[in-house]
Amino acid sequence: MGSNTAQKEGPSPTRSPRKVELCHIDALPERRARGFDPFNHGRPSLFVVKKNSVLYAYLDICPHYGDTQLPWKKNEYLDKTGDVIVCAAHGARFDITSGNCISGPCLGQSLTAVGLQVSKDGLVTVQIPS
């Protein structure tokens, strides 16, 4: 075998996800939502909802139209009862626990869920691509 057949060895370079801190779990009240910008878009790119002491996170993009964000005002992702997620643009309503649209123009579609981690001391983090 000739010496001009160089081959790359080892794993191909890949970027590992990085962990981004969002907040302490106690900073997330029950049946309330809060937006975060872990992707540094200059606007909330995901939001976290706490319901029955469980956290749910979704990208802040309505499946109905383009990359429309859901709230009409900062952190206003839920209806006044705190029972459902609402898109302010055209009124789509989403189940908090599944992200599924339950009424409105994108019935049958869902919000995009985001995985969270909660440390033993209550720090809420998300892993995002580097």
Question: Could you list the residues that contact ligand FES (CB under 6 A)?
Answer: 62, 64-65, 68, 87, 89-90, 92, 104-105
Backbone angles phi, psi at 27, to 5 degrees: -85, 0
- Residue number with CB closer to ligand FES (68 or 110): 68
- Residue number with CB closer to ligand FES (8 or 73): 73
- Residue number with CB closer to ligand FES (68 or 125): 68
- Residue number with CB closer to ligand FES (34 or 64): 64
In angstroms, what is the minimal distance from the CB of 70 to ligand FES? Answer: 7
Is the distance from CB of 125 to CB of 20 less than 8 angstroms?
A: yes
In angstroms, what is the minimal distance from the CB of 108 to ligand FES? Answer: 13
In angstroms, what is the minimal distance from the CB of 45 to ligand FES? Answer: 16
How many degrees, rounded to 5, is the angle at CA 38 between CA 111 and CA 52?
Answer: 50
